[in-house]
Amino acid sequence: MREAGVDETILGNLDFVDAAICALTGLLALEGNFEVFGERGEGYLVAPRCSPG
């Protein structure tokens, strides 16, 4: 979160953390920086692409 510029001090509880992760994932998806896991019949999970290092 820090690398993305998110001020972690305002994430006072798990609901805020969850919301921040969802928002960050959405922004990365819009930029095309994501991976998709799963199958058509079961559903998909969209996750940010991890960069090496």
Residue 12 forms part of a structural domain: yes
- Candidates 42, 45, 3; CA nearest to 22 is 45
Report the pLDDT value the prediction gives residue 15, as an integer from 0 to 100: 95
pLDDT confidence tier of residue 52, bands split at 50, 70 and 90: low
pTM: 0.67
The boundaries of the domain holding residue 35 are: 2-48
How many independent structural domains does the chain possess?
A: 1
Q: What is the pLDDT of residues 2-48, one digit of tens each?
A: 888 888 888 999 999 999 988 988 888 899 998 999 999 999 998 88
CA angle (10, 29, 46) in 5-degree steps: 90
Query: Is 25 part of a structural domain of the chain?
Result: yes
Does residue 53 form part of some domain? no
